Structure 1
Amino acid sequence: MNPVALRAGLARGWIEFKQTWTNLDDVIGQLVFVALFLGTLFFMRNATLPGTSFSLGAATVPGVLGAGVVFNGLTGAAGYLAVDREDGTLLRAKATPNGMLGYLVGKTTALSLAQLTSMAAVLIPCLFAFSALAPDGVWSYLHLLGVLLIGMAATMPIGAALGSLANSARSIGLITLPVMAMGAISGIFYPVTALPEWVQGVAQVFPMYWLGLGMRSALLPDSAVVVEIGQSWRPLPTLAVLVAWAVIGLALAPVLLRRMARREAGSSVAERRQKAMQRVG
Structure 2
Amino acid sequence: MMSSRSLAIARSGTRLLLVDPAPFVLTILMPLLLTAFLLPATKAQLTQSGYSGATGSEQLIPGLSVLFALLGTALVGTLFFREHAWGTWDRLRASSASTLDIVLGKVAPLYVVQFLQMGVLFLAGALLFGYRPNGSVIALIVVIAVFVAMVVSYGVMLVAVFATMDQALVIGNLGGMLMGGIGGALAPASTLPGWLQAVAHISPAYWALDALHKITLDHAGLTDVTPSLLVMAAFALGFAIVAGLRFRPSDAKVGTT
1:79 and 1:212 mapped to 2: Cα distance? 27
Matching residue of 2:240: 250
* Deviation readout 1:170-217 (Å, 9 max, x if unpaired): 212132122212222221122111112221222210211111222233
Q: 1:76 to 1:119 in 2, by over 3 A?
A: same
Q: Is the 8 A contact 1:67 1:211 kept in 2?
A: no
Matching residue of 1:107: 106
Alpha-carbon deviation of 1:236? 4.4
Alpha-carbon deviation of 1:145? 1.9
The 3-state SS of whatever aligns with 1:44 is helix
Matched to 1:9, the amino acid is S
Q: 1:122 to 1:132 in 2, by over 3 A?
A: closer
Q: How does 1:34-113 map to 2 (within 5 A)?
A: 34-46=28-40, 47-48=43-44, 49=46, 50-51=48-49, 52-53=51-52, 54-72=54-72, 74-113=73-112
Matched to 2:218, the amino acid is D
How many positions carry a matched residue from both structures? 247
1:128 and 1:156 mapped to 2: Cα distance? 28
* Deviation readout 1:221-242 (Å, 9 max, x if unpaired): 3279xxxxxxxx9734413321
Q: Is the 8 A contact 1:78 1:164 kept in 2?
A: no
Q: How does 1:255-274 map to 2 (within 5 A)?
A: 255-257=245-247, 260-261=248-249, 263-264=250-251, 268=252
Matching of residue 128 in structure 1 with residue 98 in structure 2: no
Matched to 2:246, the amino acid is L
Matched to 1:186, the amino acid is G
The 3-state SS of whatever aligns with 1:120 is helix
1:217 and 1:89 mapped to 2: Cα distance? 46
1:164 corresponds to which of 123, 142, 160? 160
Could you state the TM-score of these two structures normalised by the residue count of structure 1? 0.76
Alpha-carbon deviation of 1:147? 1.0
Matching of residue 179 in structure 1 with residue 169 in structure 2: no
Q: 1:86 to 1:234 in 2, by over 3 A?
A: farther
RMSD of the alignment, in Å? Answer: 2.8
Matching residue of 1:14: 11
Could you state the TM-score of these two structures normalised by the residue count of structure 2? 0.82
Alpha-carbon deviation of 1:165? 1.8
Bigger Rg, structure 1 or 2: 1
5+ residue gaps in structure 2? none
5+ residue gaps in structure 1? 225-232, 277-281
1:239 corresponds to which of 220, 224, 229? 229
1:103 and 1:154 mapped to 2: Cα distance? 19
Report sequence identity in percent: 20
1:162 and 1:150 mapped to 2: Cα distance? 19
Matched to 1:193, the amino acid is S
